[in-house]
Amino acid sequence: MKIGIIGAGNVAKALAKGLIQTGHEVQIGARDTSKLMSWTIAPSVTLKEAAQFGQILILAPNFAGVEDAIQSADPTLFVDKVIIDVTNPIAIENGKFTLTIGTNDSAGEYIQRLLPNSHVVKAFNTVGAALMTQPEIVGGADMFIAGNSEIAKNTVTTILQSFGWRVRDLGGIENSRWLEALVMVGIAYGMKHQVQHNAFQLKTA
């Protein structure tokens, strides 16, 4: 599968490496490709080139810059594609992490509104970059997803399972609200207990 990644930070790089290792073709797009001069794992291209290349697109910029990244890449290149939203609407206020959107909206819903003719699936956002393609680091865990298209979620599920995740489908994209809030649990626990890597597991009876 050809996958274009919009963003060039640690999350984008971790996903690119894992996707290549599991047999996908990847291009990683940046506003300034000179920032990826030393990046050799996947071709570094412009945001528009990454959007043109990918049959699936991964949105992995900082959430504050996500609309600008989509506009720079050209929204028409997102039409009818599966869009994996990895973003979290998190900011630091008075030295503490906080959600900038929550309860009655989410980054996932916002992105779906920006891309009404695309199939947005929230995934990967509840863990840090190091775990995204290596759940074995924490002995395996659950990856939660949300989205309106069952076909798109099936596609994303196949990718997640190739990394070793057990996938938990929460339903429509509006459930991104709870996934983005869930990441705050990981942040709070990690900061209090000095834990670098954590993930979640849902137990059912």
The structure's pTM equals 0.96
Q: What tens digit of pLDDT does each residue of 35-92 get?
A: 788 888 999 999 999 999 999 999 999 999 999 999 999 999 999 999 999 999 999 8
Residue 56 lies in a domain: yes
Contact present, 27 and 55 (Cβ < 8 Å)? no
Q: What tens digit of pLDDT does each residue of 102-143 get?
A: 889 999 999 999 999 999 999 999 999 999 999 999 999 999
> Domain residues for 98?
2-193
Integer Cα distance of 172 and 147 in angstroms: 4
Integer Cα distance of 13 and 187 in angstroms: 21
Q: Indicate whether 178 pLDDT > 90.
A: yes
The stretch 179-188 carries a mean pLDDT of 94
The stretch 162-173 carries a mean pLDDT of 98
Average pLDDT value over all residues in the chain? 95
- Both tokens assigned to 169: 């489908």
pLDDT confidence of residue 205: 92
Residue 95 lies in a domain: yes
Give how many domains the chain has, as a whole number: 1
Residue 64 lies in a domain: yes
Integer Cα distance of 86 and 129 in angstroms: 10
Residue 15 lies in a domain: yes
